[in-house]
Amino acid sequence: MTMPKIYNFSVSFIKLSLILALLVNLVACGIYQPGVDTRKRPVKGTDRARQNLEQGKGFKLSELGGNKKTTYEFSTSNPMWRSSLEVLDFLPLTTVDYSGGMIISDWYNDTANNNDSIKITIRFLSNEVKTNSLKVIVHKKTCKSTNNCVVKKIDSKIEEELKRSILKKAARLEADAKNKKKN
């Protein structure tokens, strides 16, 4: 028994349609790309990158941040960071983030009055050992009962004393590091 010619034609047409649809999808998706004329497209990666930049197809990472040079320091080599941790070693710390430049203590109370606590936040504005490279913030929490507490930022001598002692220690650490390099 032979198949009718119409059935053979419809199977062939379906196969041909599927192959054609597959080829169209491959080209449209970018999986198949026709050969590139290397006379128009450079072979070297740096040359291709330069050409893409000229055609507006890319960007340089240095253009995003300008011509700033970045120096990476580990926390152990940063005197401001080390001195801050040494000065605050009596406090329980909740957040210590070197990359974010922040140290936050937990609520601390060293007096007989359990209703008052302080929280100290240190923000590093730069790695240089200068007075404007560091911001110290002190918050005070006063509780009348367990669920009735008031928290507010206060200006106190603690801020200036901490800042002064951190800067002094950082200056000593920096001087010691320079002396070690000389020797």
Contact criterion met (CB below 8 Å) for 79 and 72: no
**Structural domain includes residue 36:** no
**Structural domain includes residue 14:** yes
**Structural domain includes residue 7:** yes
Residues 88 and 175 in one domain: yes
Range scoring the smallest mean pLDDT among 15-24, 25-34, 116-125, 146-155: 25-34
**Structural domain includes residue 64:** no
Residues 20 and 80 in one domain: no
Residues 114 and 170 in one domain: yes
- Specify the residue for token string 């072979």: 43
Residues 80 and 12 in one domain: no
Q: Answer whether residue 17 shows pLDDT above 80.
A: yes
Quote the mean pLDDT of the chain.
79
Residues 145 and 88 in one domain: yes
Q: Answer whether residue 71 shows pLDDT above 60.
A: no
Can you give the residue range of the structural domain that contains 121? 75-182
Rounded Cα distance between 70 and 62, Å, is 11
**Structural domain includes residue 84:** yes
- Give me the number of domains the chain comprises: 2
Residues 165 and 102 in one domain: yes
Q: Answer whether residue 10 shows pLDDT above 60.
A: yes
The full DSSP string for the chain is ----HHHHHHHHHHHHHHHHHHHHHHHHHTSS-PPP-TTTS-SSHHHHHHHHHHTTS---HHHHHTTPPP----GGG-HHHHHHHHHTTTS-EEEEETTTTEEEEPPB--SS-TTEEEEEEEEES-SSSSGGGEEEEEEEEEEEETTEEEEEEE--HHHHHHHHHHHHHHHHHHHHHHHHHH-
Residues 26 and 79 in one domain: no
pLDDT digits (tens, 9 = 90+) for 119-167: 999 999 888 888 888 999 999 999 888 788 899 998 888 899 999 999 9
Range scoring the smallest mean pLDDT among 48-57, 99-108, 135-144: 48-57
Rounded Cα distance between 122 and 101, Å, is 8
Rounded Cα distance between 79 and 169, Å, is 8
**Structural domain includes residue 40:** no
**Structural domain includes residue 62:** no
**Structural domain includes residue 52:** no
Find which of 6-20, 35-49, 101-115, 150-164 is predicted with most confidence, using mean pLDDT: 150-164
Rounded Cα distance between 99 and 170, Å, is 18
Residues 167 and 96 in one domain: yes
Who wins on pLDDT, 72 or 56? 56
